[in-house]
Structure 1
Amino acid sequence: MPHEATPLTRLRPEEVPAIRRDPVDPKARLAAEPIVEAIRTGGEPALRSYAEKFGELTEGAPLLLEREKELKAAWESISQEQRNCLSRTAQRIRHFARSQLASAQEISVPIPGGEAGHTLAPVEAAGCYAPGGRYPLPSTVLMTAVTARVAGCSRVVVASPRPTAITLAAAYIAEADVLIPVGGAQAIAALAYGAGPIGACDAVVGPGNMYVTAAKSLVAGRVAIDMLAGPSECLVIADHTASAKVVAADLLAQAEHDPSALPALICLSEDFVDAVDAEIAIQLAELETKETAAVALKNGYAVVVKDIEAACEMSDRLAVEHVELHVQDEMAVARKLKHYGGLFVGSGAAEVLGDYGAGPNHTLPTGGTARSYGGLSVFTFLRTRTWMRVDDPLAACTMIADAKALGEMEGLMGHAAAAAVRLPRHSGSGEALTGSAALKKNLSTKDWDTKGNRLHFALPKKGRIAEKCLKFLAAAGLEYDRPDRVDVALVRNMPITIIFLPAGDIAQYVGEGNVDLGITGEDIIAEAGVSVQKEMQLGFGKCRLSLLVPNEHRDARPADYAGHRIVTSFPEVAKAYFAPLDAAAGVKTSIKFVSGSVEAACKLGLADAVIDLVETGTTMRAAGLCELVSLLETQAVLISNPHSPHRELITMIKARIQGHLDSTKYELIQYNASRAILPECIKLTPGKKSPTIQPLEDADFVAVSAMVPVKQVAKIVDALIAVGATDIMVFTIKDCRV
């Protein structure tokens, strides 16, 4: 006959109580406080006193069971079958924990003027508690100690009262250093504060009874803890596809944990609840732990909801320790859930498999705290330690100024002063500089880079060549960040500082040695009148600086404008051009500088002619102007200061940029050809020096590779086909050196 069992309490959805509760029982805390304090102040004698009082130690018994003695002896005393089981389980837990550890990454990110990041480091000593009440729990020893060791803890201490040989053997295979045969609040206090030969631990983890939880709450802050866990919980969500027999077995497995355990069911029909109740009655009759399970079943309940969405909403509101999904399309349902300690997806993923070492840890948050905490993992034993460095005060000047301002806002003037003393200062004045003022003055003094160990590379902030300059940085392999579009950025992978300047200033700064390298236009260099070393022409930004006159004067000569009004953004170039014309005519040309919209000056009556850049001529023609004479041809160029100490680095950057430029001019063509037509093919694809020719399996044929000009690719392919080449492929070249 089936054992008489109380059916699961039937509740309507609105009657389901929230299980969010204080995990610490007030009475247990009152009982634990004097024990914890006594061991904190009294050490080993106090620990022994309580352990003997509670029947955990006999007088004179060892306080530490050591790995190579008692733990190893226990391992050797159990059966081979038991050893195999413990080994396999430990390995699955270890594998999962190692995978978790692999997902934890140290980082470094650029900050203004430097770098910041975090490192990950394990706590040195981990204390792992495993209950030893009704039943030995070697699984908890494995879950806690294996995980601590994988995290990298150098010392792992297990505490468990009245340990059996299986518990000691589990500690051995988990690689624990020692086991303390003590439990309750006294064990937690010993792990946290140390007692005699027991050194204080940095983290204390593991589930336990109400006194263990109370003691963990008392030592939290002194040491890291995993969580304050209460009675175990399991919620099964089931639909019409679920097996009542399997669901009943899982609810009973939960119920036998503890009289306070919570087994619960959410399903879609009353008939299914009836079927589960019937199965519980049958299975409970055969269960050896029926007395405990029968009591726990009275805590449980069953709820019928209208659909799976409602079941998920209720589950998230409860945020229980374990959630099992016995439903159709279980992965879709799993993705809807947000709050749980551990999720068991599908009827095959029983919670008992999680308890006994499938891999994920079984030490999980209870009492609704899954909304706030995760379960035990390698991350429990890891510390995230942040760091930062600032080695370019100029690039950091805005950040430093903000720190100073915030210190003043908060009334912490010492903070403000500590920031202010780090602001870059102009040589001789002692004046703290921020923003563009700091950039301008400090470029002239290099007060912000006294070591001189970084090459300073100037690029245009904006304008016609600025965007293409950024592509050249990428081609040169310069990795940098420019947060909030600040004007200085540190290159992470080379000793280079990139400085974004007005295009008109770059030639001057390079020529005067304030920066080492720059990209600007040849027109800018001519206007600056400084001596720089032209490293290479970059092939973009091509245009002409020309004298433009109204269309009705297209037949005039340049000399006709000597002594007239000229408007331009290039006054020095204009003066140099008109100087001999003025001398010949005995006049003085009026040259007026404007920074933009030069072409409008004639129509506005401000000028008789203008000197401006002409690329396509569209703007010129729209303004009713024509080109009378070109003063100079210009394009973007890479320039350097001839006295820069970073010549080797400049040469490398130049080579990388040249490689990028060459790669845009050529493509790689590959094809197969018979040896009979090879001479004709080589004439078509001679390559830079010669083509690469490789023999094929068929001795009469070869494979040919050669660089060919981009503009001739289509013509060359047609010609190769005509002479009999086959298998022709054309590849874009990302980078090259020719």
Structure 2
Amino acid sequence: MNKIDSPRREDWDVVLKRPTQTVADIEATVNTVFDEVKRDGDLTLRKYTKKFDGVSLDIFMVSDNEIAQANELVSEELRAAIQLAKSNIEKFHVAQKTDSVEVETTDGVHCWQEKRPIQKVGLYIPGGTAPLFSTILMLAVPANIAGCQEIILCSPPDSQGNINPAILYTANLCGVTKIFKVGGIQAIAGMTFGTESIPQVYKIFGPGNQFVTVAKQIATKHGVAIDMPAGPSELLVAADDTANAAFVASDLLSQAEHGVDSQVILVSTSKTLIDAVEKEVALQIEDLPRKEIAQKAIGNSKLIFVENDQVAIDLINEYAPEHYIICVENEDFYIKNTVNAGSVFIGNYTPESAGDYASGTNHTLPTNGYAKQYSGVNLDSFMKSMTFQKISEAGIKEIGNAIEIMAEAEGLQAHKNAVTLRLKSLSPSQPSPKGNAK
């Protein structure tokens, strides 16, 4: 790992740079695939599935028989674990339900807000080096709680044309409507435009590699909303001498094994801890089945020494980590002053893995510094707020004149007339609005 000692603030941009390509580097490729999918639909899906996944498929939709077979391949132990996680995720997201808000802003003017589910949502589930069935829990569970009518899932097939059984089991358990064997840019494009097989959706959720991330951003140019620009996984740990070096190292490696473009960072006021963590990483990485991936990610990663807690907090907020672990003596200071992070894990016994799987919080989070302006996925991500108002005769009399004055000041006479006509109907002696028949 790269050790950095007391970096100057003017160098933070360089020190905290993510190991990702820019949108410009990838956008041309994404646009090409999007144009082809829009024009040729399933034909293009077959072309790119053959090219990138190494398999030729005539039918993309997973059948009921395939789901039943997959269920038999998932062990009872794993089923129990998934069901426990589902229960906790349901509890946390059900608790996020809110009542409608109603207020009488002026006598006779009633305004209220209610939430409605997004009717059609698309879930992208990576299935390459790690089949992320846990992400289905994080997306399909709140989608069902919200009341989404159609929940479409796309995940890349393996070289035999199958989707990992745990993905199919979890999708079926969580009420996914239809499952398709399509991955990458072409999956995002398929859900954006709709094809002969894949229905068009209104909003796309889910993580992916850099190409999927850019594809989601391009989808927004075609009228489809997305959860956030979620890209390669990242973790920042803030720790001091009260932290357990072995625990910290295990957390760093837990994110490093996601992919070669993942990034993990340790920020510490203790050089002793930094040295201890570095040694633990070297020891623990040797036993990992995904050692080669983790080693490449560790090459993108940093061990940063800072002088004090205030500098640490400033640097952390500048980085805006997706996952953020706090293992320090003065944890209240860090909690209170953290303003940019996707999800926060506090204390020596709160591994980031808990949030990934079973504690109940959502693990679909903003990366690449987007935690400065995006929230992680939550129940409201699958809903939209609608406002309503009803104005009585007394109410229009209360606010009508103000509307007329403001509309006229903006030069919008028809806006003013819409009010004036109503006021006249309530006061027959009032002159008719200019330009209207008497």
Q: Gapped runs of 5+ residues in structure 2?
A: 158-162, 434-438
Q: Does 1:108 align with 2:106?
A: no
SS at match of 1:196: coil
Residue 688 of structure 1 is matched in structure 2 by: none
CA contact (8 A) 1:50 1:186 kept: yes
| TM-score normalised by L of structure 2 | 0.91
Give how far 1:422 is off. 2.2
d(CA) in 1 for partners of 2:17 and 2:277? Answer: 26
CA distance change for structure 1 residues 78 and 395 in 2, over 3 Å: closer, same or farther?
closer
Residue 375 of structure 1 is matched in structure 2 by: 376
Aligned length, in residue pairs: 422
d(CA) in 1 for partners of 2:17 and 2:404? Answer: 45
Residue 45 of structure 1 is matched in structure 2 by: 43
SS at match of 1:379: helix
Instruction: Give structure 1 regions of 4+ aligned residues with deviation exceeding 4 angstroms.
Output: 18-24, 424-428
d(CA) in 2 for partners of 1:34 and 1:97? Answer: 38
Alignment of 1:282-681 (within 5 A): 282-392=283-393, 394-424=394-424, 427-431=427-431
Residue 36 of structure 1 is matched in structure 2 by: 34
Give how far 1:310 is off. 2.5
Deviation by residue 1:578-599 (Cα, 9 ceiling, x = unmatched): xxxxxxxxxxxxxxxxxxxxxx
Deviation by residue 1:329-367 (Cα, 9 ceiling, x = unmatched): 534531221110000011111111111232111110011
* Letter of the 2:37 counterpart: I
Give how far 1:424 is off. 4.9
Q: Does 1:128 align with 2:126?
A: no
Give how far 1:180 is off. 0.7
SS at match of 2:286: helix
SS at match of 1:54: helix
d(CA) in 2 for partners of 1:32 and 1:212? Answer: 9
Give how far 1:262 is off. 1.3
Residue 94 of structure 1 is matched in structure 2 by: 90
Percent identity between matched residues is 32
CA distance change for structure 1 residues 47 and 398 in 2, over 3 Å: closer, same or farther?
same
SS at match of 2:275: helix
Residue 217 of structure 1 is matched in structure 2 by: 217
* Letter of the 2:95 counterpart: S
d(CA) in 1 for partners of 2:258 and 2:212? Answer: 16
Give how far 1:429 is off. 2.1
Residue 65 of structure 1 is matched in structure 2 by: 62
Residue 436 of structure 2 is matched in structure 1 by: none
* Letter of the 2:241 counterpart: H
In the alignment, which of 140, 153, 157 is matched to residue 158 of structure 1? 153
CA distance change for structure 1 residues 11 and 306 in 2, over 3 Å: closer, same or farther?
closer
CA contact (8 A) 1:213 1:230 kept: yes
Residue 113 of structure 2 is matched in structure 1 by: 118
Task: Name the Cα RMSD after superposition.
Answer: 2.1
Residue 178 of structure 1 is matched in structure 2 by: 178
Give how far 1:46 is off. 2.5
| TM-score normalised by L of structure 1 | 0.55
Deviation by residue 1:492-546 (Cα, 9 ceiling, x = unmatched): xxxxxxxxxxxxxxxxxxxxxxxxxxxxxxxxxxxxxxxxxxxxxxxxxxxxxxx
CA contact (8 A) 1:130 1:159 kept: yes
Report which of the two has the higher share of helix: 2
In the alignment, which of 3, 6, 12 is matched to residue 9 of structure 1? 3
d(CA) in 2 for partners of 1:20 and 1:411? Answer: 49
Give how far 1:274 is off. 0.9
Greater relative CO (CA pairs within 8 A, separation 6+): 2
Higher radius of gyration, 1 or 2 = 1
Residue 80 of structure 2 is matched in structure 1 by: 84
SS at match of 2:300: coil
Residue 657 of structure 1 is matched in structure 2 by: none
Give how far 1:298 is off. 1.8
CA distance change for structure 1 residues 168 and 56 in 2, over 3 Å: closer, same or farther?
farther
Deviation by residue 1:539-568 (Cα, 9 ceiling, x = unmatched): xxxxxxxxxxxxxxxxxxxxxxxxxxxxxx
Report which of the two has the higher share of strand: 1
CA distance change for structure 1 residues 41 and 11 in 2, over 3 Å: closer, same or farther?
farther
* Letter of the 2:349 counterpart: G
Q: Does 1:248 align with 2:249?
A: yes
